[in-house]
Every structure is written in C-alpha cells, then in structure tokens.
Structure 1
C-alpha cells in the first residue's frame, strides 16, 4: 500500500480522548504512515506533545489559532521557539485570520500572525495558516512579511479564492486539500487546485472535522485522508499511487524535520 501523510489533524480534541492508539492503528491500516497533530492553544502544548511522544507515526505543531487570538494571552516569539527544540515539533501554527467567526479580534489576529511568522523565520520551521473570509488581509500580510524575510508556509484546508491561492503559490507556499475538496458541490475549489503546481499540494483531514465521502457528516479521523487523496488524484488525472508519492515528496520538502 502506497504510504501517505495526514498533514493536519487534532488528536488532542475530545473526539479522540483515550483512544488515540486506536485511531493511529486504523490510520496505519489505511496506509497513513505519518500524521501531524496540531496544538491550537499554547497552554495545551504539553498534552499535544505527549501524544506525539506516545505514538511513533505522530508529529506535532503548535500555535495560537486565530479564533483564540482575542482570548488567549498574546504569544511571544521566544515562547514558540522554546517549543521548537522538541525533536517531533515540526511546524508553527495553526495561526492565521478568521473573520467569519472572530471578526471582533481582527487586530489581535493580525498581531499574532506576524509573531508566528517571525518565529518561522528564526526556527526555519514551516508556517501553518488558517484563513477564512479574510482573503485581502491575508494576501497583504503574507506578501509584506515574506518581503521582510522568507519563510515556508502551507495554507491548510484551503478553501479560499483563486486570487489568494495565486498569491500563496507565487510566494512559494503550499496548498492543502481537505475533505471539502471531495464534496460534490466543490467543483470550483477543485478547479483552483487543478490549476496549481502538483509539487505544491498536500493532503489532510483536519480531523475530527470535514470528513470526506463516504464518511461525510461523521467524525473525521486520520485514516480518512486516503479517501480525500483518492478524490484528489482524480482532480489531477493521476492514479492514487502517483498522487500519494507526489504528496509524500511535497510533505518531506516542506516539513523537513519530520522527514
């Protein structure tokens, strides 16, 4: 079975409580040999790190999610850098902008995002971006900050505009395909991905959210990234094996510490 990576999941969420070993084993049965579990609040870093330490296929990343930026203490570059010393801590985020649910904290989100970007520059680890209903500000900040000093980045669970995709790709960033891209009504989103360079594509679950068909509406889990990848392979006119091999190369290039 061709191995594949779930580049973004949340194994510390209550949906997986006490059963992480079961979900990691199910992922392995589906060919998912590696996954990155994401810490969304730095005060929860210890429990996310512990999951990665307990399971060989699991790596982790940490940051302040934009929906929490207005409520959590503002993170510092040094706080993030202290976490990057861990051998299985492979990325910074998710951070970003979410004006859909948290428009009242726009300023805090932007400040937090820029801090995470600086931590990426200093650590060399890639940035993991969440962006929703904030395309204009996101494109502006990505462009401004990249001009101030380069960093690597993935637009996780990308479902924004073609314009934002082009901005991100033009900066050398990556786009990640979630279960949304396998939904029947997501043809416009699939077109955006189909126009992107294949060597800039990752796949993810964002589990426990956004389960792809045939599990839509149920709890998502890392094993299901194989379903998303099969649908994605069709978008690019590839076999599952060829698509999986390419996304593995892409993941290793971006998340060098996990490779």
Structure 2
C-alpha cells in the first residue's frame, strides 16, 4: 500500500508559536471531522457488528488483535463489559502486542512481531466459531496483519478497523471497516483522530452487540454487576422504577437476593 494518509503532514504549521486557546480550538475542529468520517463507514460497521452478534449468539467469541493506542483502547472497552452488562469473562477478548499485563508500557517494538498474536490465539483455542478483529491505524501493522492472514488460512472470520484505504489488513478481513480520518494534528500521531475514531467504533460495537444479545432492556443496564455502593443504588432505583416497588429497602433486599435487576424483575413479575 502506497497511500499512507495517517502519515501525511499535518495541515497546521509552527504549532509551537500558537497559544493554548489557538491549539485547543484547532484540535476541536479536527475532532469534529471524526464523526463525519465514521458516518460514511456506518454500513461497514453495521456488517461487522452483525457478524459479531451472529458468532457470539452461537456461542463463539470475539478477539480484538492490536498494538499501540488502538490495541490499548480495545482493552479498555472489553474490560468494562462483564461489569456493565454482566457478560461472562472470556466472550470478549484482546490479544495485545506485548501482553495485557504490560498495558501501561508503550511496547511499540512488539507491533513488528509476526508470530505472537497467532500463537496466543492458538493458546486460546480460536476456532471458526469465533471472530477476530484487527485494530491498526495504518492498516499495515505486522502483528495484526500476520494474525488475520493466519485466521484466513484457517477459515476463521475476520474484521478490522483501519484508517487508511486499501490496506493489507483490510484485504485480509472478511468484514473491513475503513475510517479515513486524514492527517493528524501532529503529523503521524495516530493516538489523536485515529484513536478517537477507534474509541467511538468500539463503543458502537460493544453497546450494539450487548443490546442485540438482550443484555439491555428499554434503555437500562439490567444486567449490571453489583460491584459497589453507587452501582447498587442505581440498580435499586432501576428496579423500583420498572416494577413499581415503592419501598427502597424492599427493592434492595429483592435485588441482592437475585443478583441483578433483570433477575429481580423476573421474580417480581412471577409473584
């Protein structure tokens, strides 16, 4: 691939001479363009999500494969799901260059490793019942590309989120998502607009998938894990609203007995 828009020079010059107010205004203008580019990719995003929902509904798993900022953002998305939606751990996973235990370390050199990702997928017993989604701003990251190529050879469904057109990673993907966000505010700093786009797409994928899998009712997180006082209080009030229970303490006792708003609601409706 010759076209590397993500590495194109910034349209802004002499940033060191600009004031704080000028800098944040220009960055805000650039950020506003991200949602427009995502809008153009909604058909691709929709197809990828439908594939993920199909795999997970049938008992399969999602594996994100990534390095750098994009890989770390996928970790942040996935670790929220068991708490927010009560989904079992291990359904949504991340293969991160250098390992999730090194999340806080910028191991950028590991993105050139062409064996690690596929080896970790094999350890996880990846099968054709799963789906593997590569994350790469450039669309060329060797760590990601090698994994998707191996998946393709083994009949495993693949997807990707990339920010350059016609990339090798998109070519190796069954369901490619290409969101071309253009040159970065700082030349080549893809943690900026590319990272913003990736975060927004992760939100779309995880939230839409959870809704489609029945983990949300109306507009509420009825399967939220009761892990602290704030969330438990929110869940009690949710149960009261949805069932008509007027007494807070009564609702809390029912909630704690059944472990989730959804199960508590079902108990109340049965009785």
TM-score (norm 2): 0.33
TM-score (norm 1): 0.34
In our comparison, the structure showing a higher alpha carbon Rg is 2
Higher helix residue share:
2
Higher strand residue share:
1
